[in-house]
Structure formats: C-alpha cells, structure tokens
Structure 1
Amino acid sequence: MVDRFERFSYAISEISRHWHKLATEEMEKYGLKGPHSVYLLTMHRYPEGITAPKLGELCGKDKADVSRMMSILEKKGLVTKEGIHQNLYRGVFKLTGEGKDAAEHVRKRVSLAVEIAGKDLTDEKREIFYEALESITLNLRQLSKEGLPK
C-alpha cells in the first residue's frame, strides 16, 4: 500500500511541477505567471463573458484569488469588466481582443503539451487515465471536505 501511495504522490507532484514550469514559461511572454493560464483558458470557453463567482468555481479558486487575477489581467489589457464596476461579484468579465489572442495561443500550446505528454498512450488508455484522474479528484475533494473516516 505504501508503494502505491509513494508512486501516486510522486507522479502527481512531478506532473504538477513540470506543468507549472511549462505554464510559467508560456505566460512570461505576456508578463504573467503560470496560474494566469487557467483563467485565460477558462474565460476562452465563455466568449459571452463569465461572472467572478463562476470563474472561481470553474478554476477552483477563492474570491481573493479571482479578484487578484482579474485585476492583473485587466491592467494588462487582456480582460474587461462589463456591468456594475463597483462590485466585483456583479457584472461579467470578458476577454479583450488581445486577451482572446493570448488565450488562443495558450490553448494551442497546452494542447501541444498534452499531446506530447500522452504520446505513448493509446486512445483506450488515455480514456481510462482521464476517468481515473476524475474519480481520484472527486474522491480526494470529498475526503478533504469531510476528513478521513475514523
């Protein structure tokens, strides 16, 4: 059992470390950091705009992180806010033209990275892998909320 835990922990840690390194390298072109890529990619899927609470939910981030990231992306000219400007949680964030270009660039680079990272997997193994990751994520999310059973 310990061997499985060690292999699992090491693999997740390695994937995360290398993924964040690649994301950081890509985002440097825009004067941003790796975590901004998640926001750009998520917003890219919502061309009509997205609210801060929905963005936080989809990115797995809290209000403070969403607020900080949107402020940075607005200052860089990649995002605009439409609606009530005094309140972050009313209104909608949209990518600007420059933001759409940046998001599309990042999306293409991410697709290439995922393709290369999984090049040795058959379609069947890839499908099983993603299903397993989703299951592990959901189970760990539940455990982190409820705690381990006694």
Structure 2
Amino acid sequence: MKTQLKDSIGFKVNITANLFNNIFNQQLQTYDIAIEQRATLEIIQVEKNITQTKIAQILGKDKTTISRTLKTLEKKGLIKKEALDKRTFLIKLTEQGYEVLEKSSQTVQAFREKIASKFTQDEINELFKSLDKVTLALSEE
C-alpha cells in the first residue's frame, strides 16, 4: 500500500513545524525555557493587562494548555498573576522574566534570521498567504 502522507499539506506542515520546534527548543535550553514558554513571555511583554484567555486566543491553544504553561512560568519565577476577580488574573512578567527575554533575544533573532535568509521577501509573503489559506480552510469546518 502506497502512503499518501507525502502529498498531504497537513503532514508537511506538521513535519516542518516539529523540526522547527525541536531545533529551536534545543537553542532555548540555555535559558531553561521551551519555545511555547518563550512565545508566552513575549506576548505578555507586548500585550499589557493580558489574561490567560487572551494568551490562549493569540497562540491558538486551549486554556488548559496555556494554564500548564503559565504554572510552569510562575514556578520558574518568570511571571506573576494579579487577581482581577475570583476567576480572572492579569499576567505580568517579573524582573526575572524580563531578564530571560532579554538574554534569549539574540538567540531568537538569529534563529528567525537564519530561516528568513533562505527566502526572498516575496517568498515569505507567499508562504504567509498560503498558511493563511490553510488556516481559513480549517476554520471553515
């Protein structure tokens, strides 16, 4: 039986994303954070007065996954939660969180530039448009 995986857009996107995440996670080990934790810290830095729900929306993750990430970041002393009410918390970076972002920023920038350097700007724009089409097709289901 011949597999059709090699012709599957989802399979190709998944394989590429897994490779991307594995390599990036190896580079972030120095800072004792994983790619999703780094992305979460970056979002918290940029978005003031952000909640767990908003982080989940931005990352396209469910609240349970984000809850686990936030608990890990809190245990590491990188974030703190400020209660708005009994069920809603604002998520803030600690000084240590800002330091980890600062220390890891050169690694992150170099990684992003290495990937981007393999493409022209037109190719990057086309890739983004293609990925947006995949997202749209999936959201119609």
Is TM-score (shorter-chain normalized) higher than 0.5? Answer: yes
CA contact (8 A) 1:49 1:92 kept: yes
> Residue in 1 aligned with 2:97?
99
Residue ranges of structure 1 left out of the alignment (5+ in a row): none
The yes-or-no answer on 1:37 pairing with 2:3 is no
Moved more, 128-137 or 28-37: 28-37
Q: What TM-score, normalized by structure 1, do the two folds share?
A: 0.76
The yes-or-no answer on 1:123 pairing with 2:124 is no
Which amino acid is 1:56 matched to? A
Which amino acid is 1:97 matched to? E
**How many correspondences in the alignment?**
139
Q: CA deviation at 1:76?
A: 0.5
Q: CA deviation at 1:69?
A: 1.2
Distance 1:7 1:112 in 2: 30
Distance 1:108 1:98 in 2: 17
Q: CA deviation at 1:4?
A: 9.9
Q: CA deviation at 1:3?
A: 7.8
Sort the Cα spacing of 1:64 and 1:9 in 2 relative to 1 into closer, same or farther, 3 A: closer
Sort the Cα spacing of 1:113 and 1:32 in 2 relative to 1 into closer, same or farther, 3 A: closer
> Residue in 2 aligned with 1:71?
71
C-alpha RMSD of the superposition: 2.6
Residue ranges of structure 2 left out of the alignment (5+ in a row): none
Which amino acid is 1:12 matched to? V
Identity of aligned residues (%): 23
> Residue in 1 aligned with 2:58?
58
> Residue in 2 aligned with 1:28?
29
CA contact (8 A) 1:37 1:103 kept: yes
